[in-house]
Amino acid sequence: MKLEIPLENGLLADRYGKYAAPDELYQGHATISFPLHFLDVPKQAVSLAWVVIDDDAIPVVGFTFIHWTGANLSVEQASLPEDASRHADGRFVQGKNSTAGRLIHETDPMITQRYTGPTPPDKDHEYKVLGYALDEQLPLSDGYWLNEFYRVIEGHIVATASTTFISRA
């Protein structure tokens, strides 16, 4: 299995992060998610899931920053178009990102339970996208935590893939 994200000159397009146009922000947050394509999904897979994290945030905030988690995407819809996070319409569930934790104190689910774009404050950051092909739909609802996700995928992973992208500071 492979993951594909369209890049511009090797970088994530500005509209998906801190350089999004003001009229594309939601309460100051970049919330338009980038397209994500799952390729060569194994035939035995039933659903797809993904996690977008920033380990380069550790020296800045003290932890790996979670930007987006999603699960229960049907393998028949193995591509997420641009802005899928804000327009999931029941096609998949989304977990909490790092804005939902006690350190940031965000409470709006339009921010905490969706994609929140990269805003590297100190230098360009490398982001990891982890993809999972699973043998079932997961018993998760919108707003799940990443640790819950990791527990319920145990024994159900058919294939994994990962890719990275850079977002500019």
**What CA–CA distance (Å, rounded) separates 99 from 114?**
10
The DSSP code for 6 is -
Could you tell me which of 56, 86, 50, 55 has the C-alpha nearest to residue 68? Answer: 50
DSSP 3-state of 158? strand
Q: Give, as one character, the DSSP assignment of residue 76.
A: G
Q: What are the Cα distances from residue 104, in Å, to 34, 61, 98? A: 23, 10, 8
Cα 165 from Cα 134, distance rounded (Å): 24
pLDDT of residue 21: 96
Query: What is this structure's pTM?
Result: 0.96
pLDDT, tens digit (0-9, with 9 covering 90-100), for 149-160: 999 999 999 999
Give me the pLDDT at residue 101, please: 79
Distance from C-alpha of 14 to C-alpha of 32, rounded to nearest angstrom: 10
List the beta bridge partners of residue 161. 131
Report which DSSP code applies to 124.
-
Please give the average per-residue pLDDT across 13-35, as a whole number.
Answer: 96
Q: What is the pLDDT of residues 72-109, one digit of tens each?
A: 999 999 999 999 999 999 999 999 999 997 878 899 99
2-167 fold: Phosphatidylethanolamine-binding Protein (3.90.280)
Is the Cβ–Cβ distance between 14 and 102 less than 8 Å? Answer: no
pLDDT digits (tens, 9 = 90+) for 46-74: 999 999 999 999 999 999 999 999 999 99
